[in-house]
Amino acid sequence: MFHRILVEEWQRVLTVISFGIFMFTFAVIALRAWRMPREIVRRLENLPLENDTHNHE
């Protein structure tokens, strides 16, 4: 009924490529966060999560 599609090698290659792109992106972001100066980390830690000045009318 269904014929076998011969793209198994492409599926494997695309999976490896996408995983490699993900790991490269994750590593770059992790290294940038790890090397971030402490002053910037402290400033980002203390950012407010909500704006307390808007009215709920």
Number of domains in the chain: 1
Q: Is 55 left (phi over 0), alpha (psi -120 to 50) or beta?
A: beta
Tens digit of each residue's pLDDT, the chain (57 residues): 456 655 567 778 888 899 999 999 999 999 999 999 999 999 989 988 776 666 655
Q: What is the pLDDT of residue 10?
A: 72
Is residue 39 in some structural domain? Answer: yes
- What residues make up the domain containing 33? 21-45
Around Cβ 8, how many Cβ atoms within 10 Å? 9
Q: What is the pLDDT of residue 1?
A: 46
Is residue 29 in some structural domain? Answer: yes
How many whole angstroms separate alpha carbon 51 and alpha carbon 49?
7
Is residue 30 in some structural domain? Answer: yes
Is residue 41 in some structural domain? Answer: yes
